[in-house]
């Protein structure tokens, strides 16, 4: 079977391989502590489920308009606009079957083959995959560890900009690091985008997963909205990962182009789920508040227990449900060089399953610290405690027999 060459340029999420490894071990009877995937073991709030059921009963089972039903586009414009200080109308909104579809569609509408796109590394691996697939040149920018978390390496970022740079992908409240821009960092980034006339994908998948205070969108800074597309998703805030609903939000002209792709790719997003999404945005906020509360309790337990393991250090992030954990010391103490070897050893010997820096982009020259990534969205506190006790015991006792 002769495949088209473009398929060679397509990447993937290697985190799914870890998921498969863990599942295979589980089938053999091993106890697994799943910290590897950003899925949620929290059920969607009941009011949203009930709204979906009502919509089905009301016969909302036929096609919806390609950019989404008017009432949902209106609700998204109001809610997302209000949270970001943007004055949006439904013409700024194209409903999507998830958050992810906005990544490839943004690349398609703005990036010519051969043009450069700046993207975060470590970062969500689909950015690089879609840039390469559509013939662009992915140019990574990275982060350095500070006393309190992670900050963008601006010197490196600036050096990477060329006359051929067309777009920048920005994922504040970041996966995998839980990084959050300071006001100054976001401002500096915005000024850079304006100066170099870059189009911006603002991946705001975790904009509402903030434990103290509220989020800020780079699209609300002067001169930014007109050059940006926001990736919005219902997945995390409302524990709706498996529902597949999100939106591309931006200037009317960009949003219309994105909807043109939807006409060709998927016709429309599910009809009755769009009605459930209206309830999500306009109904009781008890559900999302409870989700944040559960996640915060987990975060506190995981961070405290991890920081109590010798040679392991993690900042306590104020956002996302990810932890980017420095295990340089622990690996050194254990005499392990390779973070993948560390991951596999822990998985097989303790059942604690996680991804590493490797699953979030190609390591860059000069990286000396070793990181693993935990997601605590899919595991309860009692299992967290049990797993991390085993992890501590194994790491601290390694080679001591």
For a copy of itself, the binding residues in 228-267 under the rule CB under 8 A are 239-244, 251, 253-254, 257, 260-261, 263-267
How many DSSP H helices and E strands does the chain contain?
Answer: 13, 14
Residues within window 309-338 making contact with a copy of itself, judged by CB under 8 A: none
Scan residues 70-99 and list those touching a copy of itself (CB under 8 A).
97-98
Q: What are phi and psi of 139, to 5 degrees?
A: -120, 110
Q: What is the DSSP letter of 228?
A: E
C-alpha distances in Å from residue 50, one per residue of 39, 46, 231, 287, 371 = 22, 6, 26, 13, 41
Name which position in 24, 31, 85, 112 contacts a copy of itself (CB under 8 A): 112
Among 373, 376, 374, residue whose Cα is nearest residue 297? 376
CB closer to a copy of itself out of 201 and 303:
201
Non-local (6+) Cβ contacts of 154 within 8 A are: 185, 188
Interface of this chain with a copy of itself, residues 130 to 189, rule: CB under 8 A: 130, 133-134
Residue 263-302 contact track with a copy of itself, rule CB under 8 A, x = bound: xxxxxxxxxxx-----------------------------
* Cβ-based nearer residue to a copy of itself, 1 or 184: 1
Residue 292 has φ and ψ, to the nearest 5°, of -60, -40
Counting residues that bind a copy of itself (by CB under 8 A) gives: 71
Selected range binding a copy of itself among 46-54, 79-87, 286-294, 335-343, rule: CB under 8 A: 46-54
Three-state DSSP at 261 gives helix
In contact, 232 and 246? CB cutoff 8 Å: yes
Q: Which is nearer to a copy of itself, 146 or 164 (CB)?
A: 164
The span from the CA of 53 to the CA of 374, in Å, is 34
CB of 397 to a copy of itself, least distance (A): 35
Contact with a copy of itself (CB under 8 A) among 27, 28, 59, 401: 59
Q: Which helix (H) or strand (E) holds 165?
A: strand 165-170
Q: ω into residue 284 within 30 of 0, thus cis?
A: no
| Contact range with a copy of itself by CB under 8 A, out of 9-17, 24-32, 212-220, 284-292 | 9-17
Q: Is 384 exposed, middle or buried (0-12, 13-18, 19+ CB in 10 A)?
A: buried
Closer of 111 and 152 to a copy of itself (Cβ): 111
Q: How far is residue 231's CA from residue 228's CA, in Å, rounded to a whole number? A: 10
The verdict on 7 binding a copy of itself (CB under 8 A) reads yes
Name the segment binding a copy of itself (CB under 8 A); options: 8-16, 141-149, 349-357, 391-399: 8-16
Q: Taking CB under 8 A as the rule, which mask of x and - marks residues 340-379 in contact with a copy of itself?
A: --------------------------------------x-
Stretches 58-66, 141-149, 185-193, 318-326: which one binds a copy of itself (CB under 8 A)?
58-66
Contact 117, 162 (CB under 8 A): no
Contacts to a copy of itself from residues 199-228, by CB under 8 A? 226
Of 216, 219, 199, 196, the closest CA to residue 208 belongs to 216
Shortest CB 153 distance to a copy of itself, Å: 27
């Amino acid at each position: 079977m002769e495949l088209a060459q473009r398929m060679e340029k397509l990447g993937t999420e290697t985190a799914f391989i870890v998921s498969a490894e863990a599942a295979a071990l589980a089938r053999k009877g091993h106890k697994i502590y799943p910290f590897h995937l950003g899925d949620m073991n929290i059920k969607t709030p009941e009011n949203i489920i009930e709204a979906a059921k009502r919509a089905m009963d009301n016969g909302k089972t036929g096609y919806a308009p390609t950019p989404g039903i008017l009432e949902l586009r209106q609700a998204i414009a109001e809610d997302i606009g209000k949270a970001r200080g943007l004055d949006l109308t439904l013409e700024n909104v194209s409903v999507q079957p998830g958050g992810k579809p906005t990544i490839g569609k943004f690349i398609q509408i703005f990036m010519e083959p051969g043009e450069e796109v700046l993207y975060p590394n470590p970062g969500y691996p689909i950015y690089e995959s879609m840039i390469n697939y559509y013939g662009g040149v992915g140019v990574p920018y990275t982060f350095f560890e500070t006393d309190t978390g992670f900050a963008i390496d601006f010197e490196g970022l600036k050096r990477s900009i060329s006359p051929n740079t067309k777009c920048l992908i920005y994922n504040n409240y970041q996966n995998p690091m839980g990084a959050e821009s300071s006001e100054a960092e976001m401002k500096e980034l915005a000024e850079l985008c304006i100066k170099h006339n870059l189009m911006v994908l603002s991946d705001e998948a975790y904009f509402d997963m903030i434990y103290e205070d509220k989020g800020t969108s780079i699209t609300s800074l002067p001169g930014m909205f007109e050059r940006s597309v926001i990736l919005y998703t219902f997945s995390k805030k409302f524990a709706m990962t498996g529902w597949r609903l999100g939106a591309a939000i931006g200037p009317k002209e960009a949003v219309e182009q994105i909807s043109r792709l939807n006409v060709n790719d998927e016709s429309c997003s599910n009809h009755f789920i769009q009605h459930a999404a209206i309830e999500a945005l306009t109904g009781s906020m008890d559900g999302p508040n409870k989700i944040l509360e559960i996640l915060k309790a987990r975060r506190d337990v995981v961070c405290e227990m991890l920081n109590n393991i010798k040679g392991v250090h993690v900042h306590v992030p104020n956002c996302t449900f990810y932890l980017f954990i420095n295990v340089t010391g622990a690996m050194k103490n254990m005499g392990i060089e390779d973070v993948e070897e560390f991951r596999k050893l822990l998985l097989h010997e303790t059942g604690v399953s996680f991804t590493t820096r490797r699953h979030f982009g190609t390591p860059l020259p000069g990286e000396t610290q070793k990181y693993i990534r935990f997601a605590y969205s899919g595991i309860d506190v009692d299992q967290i405690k049990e797993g991390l006790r085993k992890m501590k015991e194994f790491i601290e006792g390694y080679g001591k027999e």
